[in-house]
Chain A
Amino acid sequence: MAAPQRKTDIGPPHYKEYLPPVIQKNFGDWKYHQIINPGLMVHVANSGDKIWTVRVASPRLLSTDTIRDIADIAEKYCGGYVRFTTRNNIEFLVSEEKNIEPLINELKSKHYMIGGIGSGVSNIVHTQGWIHCHSAAVDASALVKVIMDEFADYFTTKQTPNKVRFAVACCTNMCGAVHCSDIAYVGIHRKIPRIDHDNIKNMCEVPSTVACCPTNAISPDPAKKSLKINADKCMYCGNCYSVCPALPIADPENDGVAIVVGGKVGSLRSNPKFSKLVVPFIKNNPPKWPEVVEATKKIFNAYMAGANKHERVGEWVERIGWEKFFKVTGLPFTFQHIDDFTIARETFRTAATFKW
């Protein structure tokens, strides 16, 4: 059978068609919400109407089999209505209170992981990794899996002083907001790109490749009709590889993970913050990256022990000071921790007031 007639420039369908009737009726007229437990919350409208949300984790990568199962469950208990969160959770939208218990029972029997609401560990924002990306220095889904397995109790039941938002970016392109997360992982390279001189000519445009380098390390090599890279200037970001495929940078021996902490995007109590480098490098160790999990436990446990109620990781660190952060976590401080990129001088300590 021939495919149907294509249409262009139509945009997505209107959202109203996809909202449960109780939401359509009370749109913009909600009074309050209450978190009943990490897997269940209720929103109450000024009209007195209620909608319950049951949240479960997903690995973001879903097969059509699983999506059909989600659709079936939504049909059975939610009139077919379901949504996703920006952190890859699935939210079943329940309009009738009597459906909550059987829904939760079915989700449990099918081993869905229920939780993620409130002060705890929610699902992890992440990138494609080795599943589908050309520039990934590390896999992303595997890191998500091992970190979420380790902190699963904080998704389903246990509380933290405030939300702990994890993120994984498989290279410094950062196709996710890892630069502003409580604890985040970034795939990094440590050696300069290799130059495939034979292919530069066919595959790459020299001026745009030269221009894309953040540190001006790339220059034309007219004799070879190719490019040169100044090894003293290159900081292995891989931006050039995205512009010019003849500059491969992936290196099994030297690629790995950096850990950054203390970022947030909300403005509550204190302004949004960037994440800062705390572990410059852990060598890739698939499939389970145990060293990454161990380093994360040090950070997480120190936060749990030291933070006041409502403090995010970054607020806790700012209160105690970074020098104390390195002391209480036992993470080593190295040359790589001291900035020498575009905002370096803003980060130097311009007062003699610090902790021993």
Chain B
Amino acid sequence: MEKEEIKQKIYDLVVKSTGKKKLKSSDIQKQISSDTGCSRDEVKDALKDLMDEGKLIYTYFGGSYVELPPNQ
């Protein structure tokens, strides 16, 4: 699967979970990798891109989570 496609799936998953369940990086890696058959490393790499582009951010509330930036 193309990296851009994985990125979109990750982004959609985070959008869907917002306000319902805070996702950890490993939740995303497990979920996307089982949905798509991609390796964990591929998902991790796509997630890193989303972070570097500022589309997603890490947050901390007694544990580290992946969320949308606050202004979106």
Residues of chain A touching chain B, judged by Cβ–Cβ distance below 8 Å, are 204-205, 207-208, 212, 242-245
Contact = CB atoms under 8 A, between A and B. Distances in A.
Of A205, A212, A243, A244, most buried by chain B (CB within 10 Å of CB) is A205
A212 to B, nearest CB: 7
Interface string B18-60: 0001100000000000000000000000000000000000000
Given A205-B22, A243-B62, A244-B61, 6 more contacts: A205-B61, A208-B22, A208-B62, A208-B63, A242-B62, A244-B62
A136 B63 CA distance: 19
Of B21, B22, B61, B63, most buried by chain A (CB within 10 Å of CB) is B61
B19 to A, nearest CB: 10
B32 to A, nearest CB: 21
B55 to A, nearest CB: 17
A310 to B, nearest CB: 42
17 contacts: A204-B61, A205-B21, A205-B22, A205-B61, A207-B21, A208-B22, A208-B61, A208-B62, A208-B63, A212-B62, A242-B62, A243-B61, A243-B62, A243-B63, A244-B61, A244-B62, A245-B61
Interface residues of B, number: 5
Contacts, number: 17
A338 B21 CA distance: 40
A101 to B, nearest CB: 50
Contacts of A212: 62
A208 B21 CA distance: 10
Nearest to B22: A205
Contacts of B61: 204-205, 208, 243-245
A245 B61 CA distance: 9
A204 B21 CA distance: 10
Q: Which 10 pairs of residues, A with B, have the shortest CB-CB distance?
A: A243-B62, A242-B62, A205-B22, A243-B61, A212-B62, A208-B63, A208-B62, A208-B22, A205-B61, A205-B21
Contacts of B21: 205, 207
Of B22, B61, B62, B63, most buried by chain A (CB within 10 Å of CB) is B62
Contacts of A207: 21
Contacts of A244: 61-62
B56 to A, nearest CB: 16
Contacts of B63: 208, 243
Contacts of B22: 205, 208
B9 to A, nearest CB: 23
A242 B63 CA distance: 9
B26 to A, nearest CB: 14
A205 B20 CA distance: 8
A208 B22 CA distance: 9
Contacts of A243: 61-63
Contacts of A205: 21-22, 61
A245 B22 CA distance: 15
A18 B22 CA distance: 42
A352 to B, nearest CB: 46
A214 to B, nearest CB: 13
A356 to B, nearest CB: 48
A244 B60 CA distance: 11
Nearest to B61: A243
A208 B61 CA distance: 10
Contacts of A245: 61
A208 B62 CA distance: 9
Nearest to A212: B62
Nearest to A243: B62
B49 to A, nearest CB: 13
B54 to A, nearest CB: 14
B28 to A, nearest CB: 16
Nearest to A204: B61
Contacts of A208: 22, 61-63
Of A207, A208, A242, A243, most buried by chain B (CB within 10 Å of CB) is A208
A341 B19 CA distance: 35
